[in-house]
Amino acid sequence: MKSIRALIIDDEENNINNLKDLLQYYCPEVEICDTAQNAAEGIKKIKAVQPELVFLDVQMPGGTGFELLEALSPITFQVIFVTAFDQYAIRAIRFCAIDYLLKPVDILDLQQAVQRAIRNLQEKNQIHAPQQFIENRKQEANKQKIGLPTAERILFVELHEITRCVGESNYTHVYLMDGKSILISKTLKEFDELLCDKGFTRVHQSHLVNLKYVRSFEKYDGGYLKMNDGTSIPVSRQRKNTVMDLLTK
């Protein structure tokens, strides 16, 4: 198997050494070409080494990993973020379907992230997610795009294109304005976490709706929403008051 050239950027030397050891033993297909310990040095090394894959810490002195990517846009490499838990940073990363590893790094998570990076490189799909991440940071909320990972690719759609999401076990059907639906291997709970402050609300155990596409709240038959496309969406008894409050604001 052809090796892929990688760069590690982290402000703590012990984290760099630990990741290098894990990659050497468990991901031999990854060749570590160089390392850097801050954003400025990372930018120089990326330009010099031209890596195919960058393991990038989020919080570093002198600039975050996010700011490093913005300085290098357009992105020409695959990115795997490596970070201590930060719910806001991780939410932004997940929004664009980019891989991330939590410190301390789990071996299986590392192997899976590396394999996905290799597939993206082989399919020449490597820059879409990191580049969209940068674009989202520049855009107003309603113009942001979310990454929807299907079996074949990651589709990026603007939030206003999504009318509703329907959960089915560990999968979610994402419905778009044009009537098409996309099956995503994420739970509805995951979509709720990503979209709850983007104009979407959970109205039922199996339904998450974009409030801008609600035509009316029908009070009979236990209560349900009528969407602009004519679809009827049930509203659970527990969520009825919350939904009514949101619709009348």
For 13-26, the pLDDT digits (tens) are 999 999 999 999 99
Q: What single-letter amino acid sits at 27?
A: C
How far apart CA 192 and CA 174 sit, in angstroms, is 12
How far apart CA 231 and CA 217 sit, in angstroms, is 12
Model confidence pLDDT, tens digit, residues 107-144: 999 999 999 999 888 876 545 788 889 888 887 666 78
The strand pair at 200-204 and 154-158 is best described as unpaired
The burial class, CB within 10 Å (0-12 / 13-18 / 19+), for 21 is exposed
188-193: long-range pairs with CB below 8 Å, 24+: 190/94, 191/165, 191/167, 193/91
Contact 95, 118 (CB under 8 A): no
pLDDT given for residue 141 in this prediction: 65
pLDDT given for residue 54 in this prediction: 97
Could you give all domains of the chain from N- to C-terminal order, each with its CATH number?
Answer: 4-136 (3.40.50.2300), 157-247 (2.40.50.1020)
150 vs 34: which has the higher pLDDT: 34
180 — pLDDT class (breaks 50, 70, 90): very high
Q: In the 8-state DSSP scheme, what is residue 220?
A: S
Geometric angle at alpha carbon 146, from 144 and 151, rounded to 5°: 155
How far apart CA 241 and CA 174 sit, in angstroms, is 25
Q: Inform me whether the pLDDT recorded for 77 exceeds 80.
A: yes
CA dihedral sign, ordered 22, 27, 31, 33 = negative
Structure-block tokens of residue 85: 């838990």
- Phi, psi at 159, each rounded to 5°: -60, -35
pLDDT given for residue 125 in this prediction: 54
> Residues 6 or more apart from 152 whose CB is under 8 A from it?
none
209 — pLDDT class (breaks 50, 70, 90): very high
